[in-house]
Amino acid sequence: MPLTTPLVPAAPCVRLATTEDDWAALSPADLRAMWWSMQAIRSFEEAVLRLASEALVHGPAHSSIGQEGGATGAIFALKPGDQINGSHRGHHQFLAKALRHVGAADAVTPDARGVLRGALAEIMGLAPGYSGGRGGSMHLRWAEAGALGTNAIVGGGVPLAAGAAAAMKFAGTDNVAVTFLGDGATNIGAAPETMNLAAAWNLPVVFFIENNLYAVSTTVAESTRETRLAARGMGFAIPSWQVDGMDPLAVKLAMEQAVALCRAGQGPAIVEAECYRFFHQNGPLPGSAFGYRTKEEEAAWRARDPIALLETRIPREDAAAMRAEIEAAMAAIVEEFTEPAGNARRIRPALWPDPATKDQHIRSDLSELAGARTEFRGRIVRRKFIEVVADVMHRRMATDGRIVVMGEDIHRLRGGTNGATRGLAEAFPGRILGTPISEGAFMGVAGGMAMDGRFRPVVEFMYPDFLWVAADQVFNQAAKARHMFAGTAKAPLVLRTKVAIGTGYGSQHSMDPAGIFATAPGWRIVAPATPYDYVGLMNAALACDDPVLVLEHVALYQSEGDAPEDDLDYVIPIGSARIARRGSAVTVATYLNMVGQSVAAAEAAGVDAEVIDLRTLDRASLDWATVEASVRRTGALIVVEEGAQGPSWGGWFADAAQRRLFDWLDAPVARVTGGEASPTISKALERAARATQVDVEAALVAMERDRGRR
């Protein structure tokens, strides 16, 4: 018989319950304030449901009625400098934090009314809302109050909260971040990935799990074998507490212990609060109306109403007076926002956001780069591309303490897998962060740090194909933050990655992601083709308040080119293309390693082509002026890219060029691109799948022939 030894978890997981002594120790003022907070949330939510039933809330109305105890208990354990974020069902969390921030305790003060008014306006999609109506019910943010933003993607906000916690830790504070997630979110990759990373880095973040037993209509028991969700922490050595979420004092006591652990540098922590939403996932009907819950179950939970629990401990007349004041305030706000329309109500037209502002706040206006030095001061020498990559990062980290770098293996192997971070770990200890293999988590952490504003993270994806495992953080979070929150959030981060076509790494390591990122308003894309350009474009990226993708090509790393010897501080403005070869016969627009191949193709084919190195590739930053001026001279345009047709960047660029430049084109815009399939391992098939100099030569000759010039 084999010998077996039980393995003891490295961190405790306990259930906490209150006693009468705990209630006796709670001050009358705190008892009153907690009840008032919950009642304010309840009255607010009831108003939202009434409006939703009248079709005056556009989109979902995820009511938190029944769950007020968890949010209030959690928030009452926090200090003013602590921050929270939450999920799509986050009205109660936002209100508890915002009302606490303005000092509302037992009366509807002008500031408290302002919170209720701003939150309701946002949920109704109106201009007076916290984000001007852009965020709505699922995206409530008020950074001043420490409410970082609720999130419509299940689990999507979890990595962002860890990023806020990382900013707190690296800034030397004792503040704590709390991320509220539901039972459903504990099963999605972002949550456990982030728990693991937060534990590895001792981040001061509390994962507050609101276990309301149902992810829409699917029960916890159907979703996981381990229904004690606090037990998730044992897999990552995270201390965990389980409490009755209908008992706000129990939640407060558990949170105080969890938060104390984080403040002591021993975070993270998990608190699971067992609670119940009294209504369906969305709208004013109970779950029993949809058949997945019984009326008896709902009645049993309603009998444990957290507001009623506290109300037994305060004078009845006081509760009645406070409730009446809150409900009167909500009624007045609703009246302010609506007006009669026949037998119904409608929203007052003047409160809608101006439709002309629909595209505002997508990205920065780049005014943050206005004072940057664009002239080069120094000597030009021949250097390897990869050496310049490491050198400019060294220079920027030496001059800007906000920059931190994270990615897989970047702190080892003499600068990562390609040498891009050579010498940085030794020069800047604690700022070169080797990560677990968890792109979703560390991309989200970087996004949270960037939105915090105190740091400028630089993330390395070892291969761009890995963006798909982090797609939510890349496209739903970092790309949309500024617009969704009406410019109150920025995401100044840099994402570095390499295009590895031609290295034999196959279909899952060889994509060119430019076309994918170009579909995401909010991202800027720079693609340096020379060592000199890399310095100037990286400096621009690190000064920009938008997320910037910096594309590198493996084929360029070991190449030599003109590079600065002693000036690493100049900036190449985002949105400025470069003429790599002057010519008059045809314009070639391209980027990265295809710049050199296009120049060589023009020489080999004997075609006097003008080759434009676009350098910046996102829709907002393209240098159309340079492209137009060239096409006016040549009358023809060929768009050249190396990668596969599926994620192609050139498709939309060619379409835009055809429409913009139609009056000056003598022939349709031509394209050179790879094949339909992604490159595979076989050298022969990989070569056939990508565009090369030979393909550019053929396109140049064909364009000349079609125009009757050859």
Catalytically annotated residues: 509
Which token pair is 708? 């009757």
Cα gap 672→595, rounded to integer Å: 13
Cβ neighbors of 564 (< 8 A, separation 6 or more) are: 376, 378, 379, 380, 381, 388, 532, 535, 570
**CB-count exposure of residue 177 (10 Å: 0-12, 13-18, 19+):** buried
Cα gap 248→231, rounded to integer Å: 21
Cα gap 596→606, rounded to integer Å: 16
Query: Strand 83-86 to strand 177-182: parallel, antiparallel, or no bridges (unpaired)?
Result: parallel
Query: Strand 560-564 to strand 548-553: parallel, antiparallel, or no bridges (unpaired)?
Result: unpaired
Whole-number CA gyration radius for the chain: 29
Query: Strand 338-341 to strand 344-347: parallel, antiparallel, or no bridges (unpaired)?
Result: antiparallel
In 327-402, beta strands by DSSP E: 338-341, 344-347, 380-384
Among 600, 674, 612, CA closest to 638: 612
Cα dihedral 196, 199, 203, 205 sign? positive
Q: Are 549 and 513 in contact (CB under 8 A)?
A: yes
Residues paired with residue 550 on neighbouring β-strands, in sequence order: 496, 526
Distances from the Cα of 569 to the Cα of 375, 537, 545, 574, angstroms: 10, 11, 18, 15
Residue 682: Cβ within 10 Å count: 12
Distances from the Cα of 623 to the Cα of 273, 526, 630, 637, angstroms: 53, 12, 11, 15
Cα dihedral 281, 284, 290, 291 sign? positive
Residue length of the chain: 710
Angle made by CA atoms 141, 144, 148, in degrees to the nearest 5: 35
Cβ neighbors of 545 (< 8 A, separation 6 or more) are: 364, 368, 490, 491, 492
In 493-538, beta strands by DSSP E: 494-499, 524-526
SS3 for 132?
A: coil
